Structure 1
């Protein structure tokens, strides 16, 4: 508290202005699709979710206790971002800093994504906050390691990992900068506290067959390497996160030496993250927000450099003001689309299309095929009308694949919305050109959790070898085989579906007519012949009640 009272009043004036701006922005800007998805997380609190750990859901749940609507999703993001600015200020030791408060705020506000995560509620929001908590605690820990500081450090390490799996990079590179910690008993105490605190999520992963880890490591969509899209795009992102100030941002980094353990940790963290994602860019497209974590240590390094270099101080302030004007204009455009000259972003028109569909279908539950984005957005803007994302083999699994949302609409009359519908009963065209086509399905039945299990060994394409197939029915009721159709989907080396061919597996027991509840039934089949080339994988898929084939089996490599 003593440190907080030493902060000048001018600092709190700027901080209050940013906090109020973020509150106003949050209230008048519609959700983006990822926020709606994480709002859906928060409707059923758990220790983990398909794509991410649970911290983002917790923030939304807490926000909902204070407000409704969009602010009920974003309030805690506004709070954390304000506290984060204070934490960054406390990590700067230069005695001249109180004379350059406005320069500090221009530096922070001009960083594009750091600005956006001041109100958007995404996993990176708590990741940024707890990175600052972790670094500030580490700064005090290396000066005076003790049990209390160790416990606090361990708690923040766990909080980082509860925010986003990328947090492991923060912890790893900071520890790598000070290998003597291996001999420090208080460092080991911090690790122990972190592991104990993180144990509930470890258990959730175990209970859910490591679904999140498997998705991020093996099942994320990918494509053929492209220098322009992947590696060059990565370097563009390194510029985009800082806007016009980027030359001075990186010059400050290059000029800063690791003369003490804390500065060394900041440098290791920045270069480590950049190197990690540079290497990753040769395998997949690096999303801009993945590298946002470098903004935290760079604020400290750059501001310290500005205080020592008048030219940098002047130019970062000038260019930062230009960035700020552009960012404020774009933020206004997020809430009021005409400012963006007919450019439609995710924050535009969601209430309108949700209302239009509700006007058509009333309170009927809605099934969106291949859209974990539209399903929660519709539910949010229609006061919780039940929705479900039915994922077929041309899409990917998500939270709807592992939770109980399918049970909420099973056996009910539903409105079914899909781009694959030819005989639509209704449709709605969004202002940005998106088209929703729908029809009504009575007594809706889907069994997307049925698993097709094939031994994970390479199988020769177009061979006649007999393949064993185990089909597990996790439901509490039996499923008639007559309602199911089986197929094999061939995929290229990037797991993109190329051809789907029907098969008729033979049951080991010829009298088999049902898949028994919560039981495994054994079959055998042959891979269907194909003329397709460059086939890398296949998966066994099931269509129930004439729906599109699902994602029932995992990709199996083909020779």
Structure 2
């Protein structure tokens, strides 16, 4: 170990671990972390937005600590684990002469910095990407059953972290087509599929809800060059900060002299190309390309060791990056130092404002899968996100959390209410009102699917199926139906109420069954709608996300 990890390396590693543990303890959660904490309250092989690795990490952290560190402990460990594995990936004795340069390079990368203590799906994605390259290198050096088994397990862990991991595996295979004829490579694939099968079964059992959402259901908007494509190029700079020029230069100047280097280059440029093409369809978020930090860190450090000028510039500009990032890290805790109001600011305060007025009753947040878990984390009281037609589905749409608040007295919180029984202001000055509802009854899991669309819609009759997935009867009298009009980007334009009757003139929807319903299309024009779907309002609540889209001819 002493040969692999000199004392100064271990000192740096220990410093970053201590720094991240302190940061993890002192910093309030961001909204996404609270959402993944909510995942971990009910461990499963899958969740609406992501595979389950992030929930497993939080569940393990909670074994040892409470509060914020009980969410982030494993991220702190994986953060230094990622640094360690990247170090092992660099095969040259010369690396020991420039250990401070190594840590400056890694610590200057903004998101690599952040994912050293924040618990997000990208945290395990980065660690297992680094580990995947290490096991792949070992596999190349000594292909056999043992290394194939290990490679397969790491690939499964990578896919359990985030679906984007598929791109890493795909581009590595693309870099080495001979793997197609390697029986040990196929053994690795088989092992990974077996290890990943619980999540695949979960997807099947949940109607591939995650895949459908990410690939087909996610709303979009018209192409905007400045926000989509130009924004993508700005993200390429943001990933590395002030060192971006020399890091990209190192990648472009590195020849593919061996299979590992070839894999590093294929993953780096393959992902950059993939999301460049994607930028012509939708806005690319910075964290989507974060995985390139692993191969590019290896390529850049290798290049630094051989080119003194680049080494000096990355070290200098890296220190500036670190100075800025350390200032921002302090600002995450001490609000006046941060340039803007951020998610880690004031969460305990707004939660306390609600509980001081509402007590311990459950709180239902309209259209906020972010506020609901944050409230529950800091208050300990039950919460629920009621998602309507103008929002999106999330974990609250598919789990059993609705049952915790149904038929109870709740506080219903929304930014769209004109007034309320209580009010509070978020740190960003957004005003929210809350009203008491007793009893609260929602049936957001009801599903509708249009069966037929006549060629002439105005005033014509159409049919749809209404499915009740609950284990109890749902009264039709509590439901109102509407026809939602969507544009070509799947954005709702408006909802038109429609009168419906059931085929058998039923008044109740039996548990676990579907009934046929009929309605008339509105006589008014459909405003050039591209898609339509039937949505439901229960007991006066805003229209839900019930319907399956149907394209108009």
Fold shared by both chains (TM-score > 0.5): yes
Q: Distance in 2 between matches of 1:172 and 1:491?
A: 35
Q: 1:492 aligns with which of 474, 487, 505?
A: 487
Structure 1 residues 275 and 460, CA, compared in 2 at 3 Å: closer, same or farther?
Answer: farther
The residue number in structure 2 matching 1:253 is 251
* Offset, 1:529: 3.4
Secondary structure (helix, strand or coil) at the match of 1:416 reads strand
CA contact 1:461–1:558 (8 Å) conserved in 2: no
The residue number in structure 1 matching 2:463 is 468
Q: 2:307 aligns with which of 309, 316, 319?
A: 309
**1:277-296 alignment to 2 at 5 Å?**
277-296=275-294
* Offset, 1:525: 2.1
Equivalent pairs, count: 553
* Offset, 1:537: 1.1
CA contact 1:492–1:536 (8 Å) conserved in 2: yes
Q: Distance in 1 between matches of 2:453 and 2:95?
A: 62
The residue number in structure 2 matching 1:16 is 14
The residue number in structure 2 matching 1:509 is 504
Secondary structure (helix, strand or coil) at the match of 2:374 reads helix
Q: Deviations over 1:172-203 (max 9, x none)?
A: 00011000011111000000000000000011
CA contact 1:459–1:557 (8 Å) conserved in 2: no
Q: Deviations over 1:14-38 (max 9, x none)?
A: 1111111101111111111000000
* Offset, 1:465: 4.4
CA contact 1:146–1:186 (8 Å) conserved in 2: yes
* Offset, 1:535: 1.5
Q: 1:335 aligns with which of 319, 333, 336?
A: 333
When normalised by structure 1's length, the TM-score is 0.97
**1:139-178 alignment to 2 at 5 Å?**
139-178=137-176
Secondary structure (helix, strand or coil) at the match of 1:525 reads strand
Q: Distance in 2 between matches of 1:59 and 1:303?
A: 30
Q: Distance in 1 between matches of 2:217 and 2:236?
A: 26
Secondary structure (helix, strand or coil) at the match of 1:241 reads helix
CA contact 1:461–1:527 (8 Å) conserved in 2: no
CA contact 1:459–1:558 (8 Å) conserved in 2: no
The residue number in structure 2 matching 1:36 is 34
Q: Deviations over 1:130-184 (max 9, x none)?
A: 0011100000101110100000000011001100000000000001100001111
The residue number in structure 1 matching 2:385 is 389
Q: Distance in 2 between matches of 1:14 and 1:200?
A: 39
The residue number in structure 2 matching 1:538 is 532
The residue number in structure 2 matching 1:91 is 89
Q: 1:78 aligns with which of 76, 79, 82?
A: 76
* Offset, 1:459: 6.3
Q: Distance in 2 between matches of 1:139 and 1:439?
A: 59
* Offset, 1:222: 1.2
The residue number in structure 1 matching 2:106 is 108
Q: 2:473 aligns with which of 460, 470, 478?
A: 478
Q: Distance in 1 between matches of 2:449 and 2:535?
A: 10
CA contact 2:458–2:524 (8 Å) conserved in 1: no
Secondary structure (helix, strand or coil) at the match of 2:547 reads coil
Q: Distance in 2 between matches of 1:332 and 1:530?
A: 57
Q: 1:552 aligns with which of 536, 546, 553?
A: 546
Secondary structure (helix, strand or coil) at the match of 1:283 reads coil
Q: Distance in 2 between matches of 1:460 and 1:77?
A: 56
Q: Distance in 2 between matches of 1:459 and 1:169?
A: 42
CA contact 1:65–1:72 (8 Å) conserved in 2: yes
The residue number in structure 1 matching 2:416 is 420
> Is 1:367 paired with 2:364?
yes
* Offset, 1:7: 1.2
Q: Distance in 2 between matches of 1:211 and 1:556?
A: 17
Structure 1 residues 471 and 301, CA, compared in 2 at 3 Å: closer, same or farther?
Answer: same
Q: Distance in 2 between matches of 1:245 and 1:294?
A: 14
Q: Distance in 2 between matches of 1:460 and 1:141?
A: 60
CA RMSD, 1 decimal: 1.3
When normalised by structure 2's length, the TM-score is 0.98
* Offset, 1:557: 1.2
> Is 1:275 paired with 2:273?
yes
Structure 1 residues 53 and 460, CA, compared in 2 at 3 Å: closer, same or farther?
Answer: farther
Q: Distance in 1 between matches of 2:305 and 2:316?
A: 15
Structure 1 residues 461 and 379, CA, compared in 2 at 3 Å: closer, same or farther?
Answer: farther
Q: Distance in 1 between matches of 2:540 and 2:345?
A: 35
Q: Distance in 1 between matches of 2:290 and 2:110?
A: 10
Q: Distance in 2 between matches of 1:344 and 1:481?
A: 45
* Offset, 1:506: 2.4
Secondary structure (helix, strand or coil) at the match of 2:439 reads coil
> Is 1:357 paired with 2:354?
yes
Structure 1 residues 117 and 231, CA, compared in 2 at 3 Å: closer, same or farther?
Answer: same
The residue number in structure 2 matching 1:526 is 520
Q: Deviations over 1:368-425 (max 9, x none)?
A: 0100000000000012x11010011111110000000000111111011012323411
The residue number in structure 2 matching 1:190 is 188
Q: Which runs of 5+ in 2 are unaligned?
A: none
The residue number in structure 1 matching 2:440 is 444
* Offset, 1:460: 4.9
